[in-house]
Structure 1
Amino acid sequence: MKRHQDILDRLEKEKHLEVLDLCEILNVSAVTIRKDLKLLEQKGLLHRTHGGASLENPYINERTVLDKEKISVEEKNGIAQMAASRIVENDSILIASGTTVQAFSKYIQPKNKLTVITSSLHVVLHLIHDKNIEILQLGGYIRHSSASVIGNYAEYILQNVSCSKLFLGVDGIDLEYGLSTTNLEEAELNKKMLNAAQKVIVLADSSKFGKKSFARICDLSRVDEIITDSGISDIKRKKLEEKEIKVTIVDGL
């Protein structure tokens, strides 16, 4: 059926589509689209999601930092360089865990003094040699898979600090579910980081969109800016901007 092929062709380009978008594009009812998606899923050609469909399984399994570092390397470095330009003179920032924010730490060049609070051991190792950077390493239990700390000790420290920006890496960005990660305790720490920051900047390559993971961090209403690569679809970008989120796409990626 031509309509089924149209759906698959668009998914090949967009990676994830909403039912309502397909209704508008193909000029058919939501009931018809859902039947189409169910049939295509039964044939193993796509994965149905809440309110849409994806070519890839939208549910993410946990992988180690070493595994993640090998994925979308060029995109992560481009996003990291753009994120570093958001730092201003005498700034104070929070840096969460993950390979994209680890890449971000490599490009940080402080303007005069910079204060960094982070849960990531790798971030500390990247920054420790710069005497203009004051580092507060959060303490607690170490997650081996992410080389970062979690737990009540880290959360307690965050109750007593305030920073201008949080640079946050995530495992999934879903328009309805929001931001998510694979570990519940890490999600709880991220929530405390959100409360300690005036502005939230998400660093995520385009493969993260339309995906969700076990532990929800927050709704997209908490996000001020997302820095990503050109693989993000126009539909997703427009929907994010409709939510008053600044979407920065790194040129050439």
Structure 2
Amino acid sequence: MSRYERWGALLELLAREGRLEVEEAAEALDVSAATIRRDLDQLAQQQMLTRTRGGAVAHSVSYDLPLRYKTARRASEKQRIAVAAAALVQPGQTVGLNGGTTMTEVARALVTRADLHADGDATSLTVVTNALNIAGELAVRRHVKIVVTGGVARPQSYELIGPLATGILREVALDVAMLGVDAVDVEHGASAHHEGEASINQLMAAGADRVIVAADSSKLGRRAFARICPVDAIDTLVTDAAAPDAVVARFTEAGVRVVRV
């Protein structure tokens, strides 16, 4: 287990339990107590938690883990989901991408599709995004036109939010809005932990002919704080093979096409 994987696991334990002791964390992660103490000290220096005698207590940010700590979680599932989601985009389309680890993988899958590589300097795909990391990766691809919203950057997700971002999205039309979400269920629809991110995602969905939600099975049947869109606004849900049949059936009955990979 790498350092970032360990840190992510510790922050998840803290988010769930609220308090963590060094010995129980060492046992849970199968590492030494000295390693856990060092990890907790480093996370405390980054203000990700509050150090206590013998352990740590949760800092509020632990409930919304920074992107760099999420990268290794369900990595294989996210890569399969990304390839399947990217396959739903047609050459020449305008695609909205929000931020997060799954959307980062979708962006990578899109730009490596051979049929989306135009000859010469021609553009074969237009991507509208509020994610700085995605824009940075795609900016060097000559066949992709990148449109980046303005806004204030959230360090947790590298996403731009606020009025400067919403102003751009109100002026563009999308063929496809490809959304990574924190949770999605039939009753509440798609949702996010942060209301600012949800607001941007709402505009992407509202301005698109088609909405595709890409979410691993751990996010299905759950709700997060801020609603993005109702389930009837979602055309396709791309998830992994571990999604329970009963949950998938409910989405299908609600009119959502479900792709499991």
Q: TM-score by structure 2 length?
A: 0.71
1:33-74 residue CA offsets vs partner (Å, 9 max, x unmatched): xxxxxxxxxxxxxxxxxxxxxxxxxxx931110121121000
- Which residue of the other structure, out of 232, 243, 246, is the alignment partner of 1:235? 246
Q: Output the CA distance in 2 between the equivalents of 1:130 and 1:190.
A: 24
Q: Which amino acid aligns with 1:81?
A: V
- For the 8 Å contact 2:133–2:158, the answer to whether it is kept is yes
1:20-35 pair list within 5 angstroms: none
- Structure-to-structure mapping, 1:61-140, within 5 angstroms: 61-109=63-111, 110-112=116-118, 113-140=124-151
SS in structure 1 at match of 2:110:
coil
Q: CA shift at 1:219, angstroms?
A: 1.0
Query: Which of the residues 184, 194, 207 maps onto 2:205?
Result: 194
Letter in 2 for 1:130: R
Alignment partner of 1:187: what SS?
helix
The alpha carbon displacement at 1:149 in A equals 0.2
Q: Is the 8 A contact 1:61 1:213 kept in 2?
A: no
Say which of 218, 223, 248 aligns to 2:259.
248
> CA shift at 1:111, angstroms?
4.8
Task: After TM superposition, list the pairs within 5 Å mapping 1:167-182 onto structure 2.
Answer: 167-182=178-193
Contact 2:94-2:127 at 8 Å conserved across structures: yes
Query: Structure 1 197/102 Cα, relative in aligned 2: closer, same or farther at 3 Å?
Result: same
Q: In 1, are the aligned partners of 2:186 and 2:254 still within 8 Å (CA)?
A: no
Higher relative contact order (CA 8 A, sep 6+): 1
1:215 counterpart residue number: 226
TM-score by length of 1: 0.73
Which whole-Å CA distance do the structure 1 matches of 2:222 and 2:70 have between them? Answer: 16
DSSP 3-state at the match of 1:71: coil
- Measure, in 1, the Cα distance between the counterparts of 2:91 and 2:190: 29
Runs of 4+ in structure 1 over 3 Å off: none
- Cα deviation for residue 155 of structure 1 reads 0.5
Paired residues of 1:90 and 1:111 also in contact (CA < 8 A) = no
The residue type equivalent to 1:119 in the other structure is N
Alignment partners' CA distance in 2, 1:236 and 1:64? 28
Let me know the Cα RMSD of the aligned residues: 1.2
SS at match of 1:248: strand
